[in-house]
Structure 1
Amino acid sequence: MPTAIAVTGADLALPPQDERTLPAAVLDGLDRRPLDEAVAAVQTLVDQHGHVIVLYSRATPPAVVQRLHTVRSLLESDRVALFRPELPPLSVAVLARQLRQLASCDLGPGVLASAGRLLTHYIHAGALLASVARLDRVPVGLKSHARSWMPGSQFGVLAHPQPRLVKASPENVLPGPEFATWMLVARGQLQSDWVTGVLAPAWQAQGLRETGLPAESAHWWGTGRVIEFCAYLPDLPVLYQLVASVRQTVCHWCGIDVIGDRCVFCCATPPPPAEITARPARALTAGG
């Protein structure tokens, strides 16, 4: 069975991008369930899929995060990966969907989990805000804070890949991707056409879709008066080529194939070169 891609809320399980997109496993309300039920839910996913990759945002309630780590510890399993990228909630949902696309391909669980770190670099995440007074995840100058108190002010904020803030207007746009992307938009309690009418054309978005605003977005952006957006790579062949072009290595701790410098399942990083050189070669046995 393909590796399971799990999210911590139904609003992070976006509709399929294409016919190859696998369903998301939704671990909703983990902190409200009895502990044994939460453990059983994750154990069932492991039994059915072999490995589970759970994505969650920096705005996920601490009680949910603690429960995730508790469940993983109680299972004593290196088959459950917990991945919290430096992205706002809508972009975490997009990244989870990209992994759901790739889960249908011939990629091992370690490579698939590592792909999440790789694909983060190709996501442009931001929002249009009515106020930046409570925004603490992107640097905000004193002038912008002062403008937050002026009626009608709106701010375009880029959180990833490089933080940027502008006063939203037809002439002011945020720096966008230098490659073809689609844009996903989620509207909160803010009325504006700046994202769809100004930013999307300036970024030359190849397609535009809308979805509901994740529940965690208001906390992440510091206001419910927000329109969140994410520019991303939508096509499975492009995603697969990006991942397949990276050299695979074997995690020295858990033995799983990975790409990059960290195993998402056991969190091990490569040992120092001197240690690799000094380590004696392990003899092959009949069992491999």
Structure 2
Amino acid sequence: MTGPGLVLPAQDQRTPPAAVLRAPGEQPLDQALTDMQILLDQHEHVIAVYPAGLPAAHECRLHTVRSVLESDRIALLKSDLPPLGVAVLVRQLRQLSVCDFSAGVLASAARLLSHYVYAGALLHSVTRLDRVPVGLKAHAKSWVPGSQFAVLAHPQPQLVRIGTGDLAGPQYATQLVVARGQSTSEWVTGTLAPAWQVGAVHEAVLPDESPAWWGTPKLIEFAAFLPDVSLLHQLVSSVRREICTWCGNELIGDRCGLCNAPLIPPDDRSRGPAALSP
């Protein structure tokens, strides 16, 4: 992870901890290289997941470390999920890391699992929200004192003014994690959670990245997720596994999670770059 606020507590004793990859201002390059090499020596592979709103300098540092070490054992996965949703996804990957999946399958499973995360926030203003489509009418209402908005950023963007509509929730059993910013509203736990019929509500610390991602510190971020690791295992296991024609690792889906190369159709593997040995 790229920040301590993106590391959620483990839900069981089997879930391993996460390592935090520091920003350039917090750590010189040589120390970052040393820390990454230690992680590789200890675990063989490193899967780094970070939100799309990560500062450019921090993202550049991640790619620099991977390039200098010339390692295809480092996966860099940028996620469009909001920060708390990223934290949920990372915990799920941590849960699955002790299962019988190869590093390639685990890395490419991040895209699959993210589809089952419903991530949003309660906002007191949407004037600076640029990651979810906001109409002019909503912008105008945002200036009215006391206005509150329920925003779903993933899997399908949705924005409603509190009291005028409902957010579309998951159609399967989930639990909800809630992180409070500078808001005292009880709408998430008192209205949304019962409407979505979540099995449990967990409190978490608001990630440092959340105010910038949502455009305001007056928010309550939430994410509904699949809590059952056996179901997560079943989801990943049900997808056909392929071999990446570039790095030779296993993958699921249409793109390798380790080297980011797209899956080449079998008919095209006898010509072009795909014909080269990994």
TM-score bin (small chain): over 0.9
Q: 2:211 aligns with which of 218, 227, 230?
A: 218
Residue type of the partner of 1:107?
F
Alpha-carbon contact 2:22-2:32 (below 8 Å) kept: no
Among 9, 14, 31, the residue aligned to 1:20: 14
For 1:184, the equivalent position in structure 2 comes to 177
1:199 paired with 2:192, answer yes
Give 1:26 deviation, angstroms: 1.5
Deviation at 1:216, TM superposition (A): 0.4
Residue number among 30, 34, 42 corresponding to 2:36 in the alignment? 42
Q: Residue 173 of structure 1 contacts residue 198 of structure 1 at CA under 8 Å; is this kept in 2?
A: no
Aligned to 1:84, the other structure's residue is in SS state: strand
State the distance in 2 between where 1:37 and 1:205 align: 43
Q: CA deviation at 1:30?
A: 4.1
- Correspondence 1:166 to 2:189: no
Question: Would you say 1:125 and 2:116 are equivalent positions?
Answer: no
Q: Does 1:114 align with 2:108?
A: yes
Gaps of 5+ in 1: 1-6, 283-288
SS of structure 2 residue aligned to 1:158: strand
Offset at residue 27 of structure 1 (A): 1.5
Query: Are 1:251 and 2:236 matched, yes or no?
Result: no
Is the aligned partner of 1:268 residue 2:261?
A: yes
Q: Alignment partner of 2:156: what SS?
A: coil
On the 8 A contact 2:93/2:106 being kept in 1, the answer is yes
2:48 is aligned to 54
Equivalent in 123, 129, 143 of residue 149 of structure 1: 143
**TM-score, normalisation: structure 1:** 0.92
CA apart distance, 1:20: 2.0
3-state SS, counterpart of residue 111 of structure 2: helix
* 1:99 counterpart SS class: helix
Partner of 1:32: 26
User: What secondary structure is seen at the aligned counterpart in 2 of 1:46?
Assistant: helix
Instruction: Please tell me whether residue 89 in structure 1 is matched to residue 54 in structure 2.
Output: no
Mark the runs of 5 or more structure 2 residues left unpaired by the alignment.
none
Measure the CA separation in 2 of the matches of 1:272 and 1:258. 14
Moved more, 49-58 or 265-274: 265-274
CA distance in 2: counterparts of 1:39 and 1:110, whole angstroms: 22
1:140/1:172 CA distance change after superposition, 3 Å: same
TM-score, normalisation: structure 2: 0.95
Equivalent residue runs for 1:227-238 within 5 Å: 227-238=220-231
Q: What is the CA-CA distance between 1:274 and the residue it aligns to? A: 3.8
Counterpart position of 2:74: 80
Superposed CA offset, 1:76-129 (max 9, x none) = 100000001110000000000000000010110000001111001101010000
1:211-258 Cα offsets, whole Å, 9 max, x none, are: 110000000000000100000001110000000111101001110011
Code of the aligned partner of 1:145:
H
Q: Percent identity?
A: 59
Q: 1:59 touches 1:217 (CA, 8 Å); kept in 2? A: no
Give the total of aligned pairs.
273
Instruction: Give the drift of 1:29.
Output: 3.2
Give the Å deviation of 1:276: 2.5
> Counterpart amino acid of 1:116?
A
Q: Counterparts of 2:73 and 2:268 in 1: how far apart (Å)?
A: 26
What is the DSSP-based 3-state SS (H/G/I as helix, E as strand, rest coil) of the residue aligned with 1:98? helix
**Partners in 1 of 2:88 and 2:264 — Cα distance?**
32
Q: Is the 8 A contact 2:79 2:86 kept in 1?
A: yes
